[in-house]
Amino acid sequence: MKLNELTIKQARALLLKKEITSVELTEACLGRIKEVDDKVKACLTVCEEIAMSEAKKADERIANGETGELLGIPYIAKDNILTKGIRTTAASKILDNYIAPFDATIIKKLKKAGAVLLAKANMDEFAHGASTENSAYGLTHNPWDFDRVPGGSSGGSAAAVAADMCLFSLGTDTGGSVRCPASFCGVTGMKPTYGRSSRFGLMAMTSSTDVPGPITKTVEDSAIVLGVMAGNDKNDASTPDEKVPDYNKDLSKNIKGLKIGVPEIFFGEGLNKDVKEIVNIAIKKYKDLGVEFISIKLPHAKYGIPVYYIITPSEISSNLARFDGIRYGFSEKESKNLLEVYTKSRGKGFGAEAKRRIMLGTYVLSAGYYDAYYLKAQKVRTKIKEELDNELEKLDAILIPTQPTTAFKIGEQSDDPLKMYLEDIYQAPASLSGLPAISIPCGFAKDLPVGMQLIGKRFDEEKIFNIANVYQENTDFHLQKPKI
């Protein structure tokens, strides 16, 4: 096995035994990026010099007896997460060549832990999309089939892990942006509870649902990374002062007797028959392991997409107002007055999807429409949250497919925004409710990965890590690699 193909756990063991160095591990990952990224196009900025410098420091720390779980481990971060002194564009021309002046809290935590930043990953512009086709810098290709999308908006992050360019990556999940690409690329993607990991230094999209999360090769690795990322941050009021448990402690705990809910609504119309069959086989596997499955009804979950696509553009309209051509980023110099600076800078700097969402959000928030749309959407959101919370009081988790289909072909849905928005249908309820959810590989349909999603109680990541990990201990879908 090549060094870049190792999991975090495997690499950590070899680093501790001094059988490999962080420099060797980092060189292997950088070599892999050079070898395959001209085909995958997962990276926007590669930080080779910085990575090698951080790897040397990590080796010095290891030589001095330090033993941190991410010490010397190379990773890639989504390009909407601020990294001091490194270009951070959110895949938008309006932030072309923007150099972040400080590190996001999660980057600071990873730096302190000794993780090595290799590159910044491509994404849908400002995280607007489910395919990574909306990047201003070109699309990312799915490593399993270059003619297909990797999912989005954290498509570059997921594709990089699937192609073994790094040992893990960071994504952000607002309405499925970690789970969707994890499913399409056959890797493990964790959306933590809203507030479990800090949003400080994350370019805001939908502030009430944004949450950074890890994309990894295994559930074990996901638990390791979240253990470092998670926790209270005085710069983010949404992070509670809640103790971060040792997520690795009960990963292999017996799951016999656990109760998992299966919502009828997510196994009906719209679900691809191959995906349905594969997820049902996964359910049978869980039954063989002693899990009890209970059919549940979530009558308001079907409204997740319309609610999400009223609330999300509204918050986007507000959050993207700061990109005005004055303070930072692209500014149109050929302007006669201040209004022209605003309109021309935003007109040239934002892509089509960003503009669409700004206009939708501005319309929804305007006088005469706020009550009819935004306020009503917030009320329905509360109903969705209450239904999920009520069901989870009686259950250990809820299981549904991550996506209704496997990865679709590049360009197949780009002319139909509504069809693209429906890609979030299986993820929006957990996002709107602020619940933790993990996507893990559970099989293949016509040689393309299929993911299933486990949703847990608020701040109960420990339980869904356990349920997901036991599945991976008894299957090998997560070990399959694309042949590139």
pLDDT at 148 over 90: yes
Predicted local distance difference test score (pLDDT) of residue 344: 92
Domain membership flag for residue 484: no
Give the pLDDT of residue 47.
97
The 10s digit of each residue's pLDDT in 271-301 is 999 999 999 999 999 999 999 999 999 999 9
Local structure of 362: helix, strand or coil: helix
> At 183, phi and psi to the nearest 5?
-65, -50
The residues near 411 (Cβ < 8 Å, ≥ 6 apart) are 133
What confidence tens digit (pLDDT) does each residue in 239-250 have? 999 899 999 999
Q: Which parts of 122-204 are beta strand (E)?
A: 168-173, 188-191
Nearest C-alpha neighbor of 403 from the set 163, 90, 177, 229: 177
Residues 332-378 pLDDT 10s = 888 889 999 999 999 999 999 999 999 999 999 998 889 999 999 99
* 429 lies in some domain: no
Give the confidence band of 448 by pLDDT, cuts at 50, 70, 90: very high
In a domain, 452, yes or no: yes
In this predicted structure, the answer to whether residue 115 has a pLDDT above a threshold of 80 is yes
- pLDDT at position 327 is 84
- Spot the catalytic one: 22, 92, 131, 153: 153
Is the residue at 458 inside a domain?
Answer: yes
**Sheet with 397-401: strands ordered across:** 43-46, 116-121, 74-78, 168-173, 211-216, 188-191, 437-445, 448-455, 397-401, 259-263, 292-296
Domains identified in the chain, total number: 1
Reply yes or no on whether the pLDDT at 328 is more than 90.
no
Contacts of residue 270, defined as CB under 8 A and 6 or more positions apart, other chains included, come to 404, 422, 425
pLDDT at 53 over 90: yes
What residues pair up with 453 in beta bridges, in sequence order?
400, 439
pLDDT number for residue 9: 98
User: Dihedrals φ, ψ of 143, to 5°?
Assistant: -60, -20
Residue 32 has pLDDT above 90, yes or no: yes
Per-residue pLDDT, 201:
98
Q: Give a yes or no: residue 135 inside a domain.
A: yes
The pLDDT of residue 334: 87
Closest CA to 307 of 400, 431, 414, 203: 431
Structural domain including 77 reads: 3-256+435-479
Tell me which of 22, 41, 78, 109 is the catalytic residue: 78
Domain containing residue 12: CATH number: 3.90.1300.10
The torsion angles phi and psi of 255, rounded to 5 degrees, stand at: -100, 5
pTM here is 0.97
Give a yes or no: residue 95 inside a domain: yes
Active site residue 153: yes
210 within some domain: yes
Which entry of 135, 157, 169, 177 is annotated as an active-site residue? 177
Residue 11 has pLDDT above 80, yes or no: yes
Q: How far apart are CA 298 and CA 214, in angstroms?
A: 28
Distance (Å, whole) CA 224 – CA 167? 12
Q: What is the largest CA-CA distance in the chain?
A: 71
Q: Answer yes or no: is 251 within a domain.
A: yes
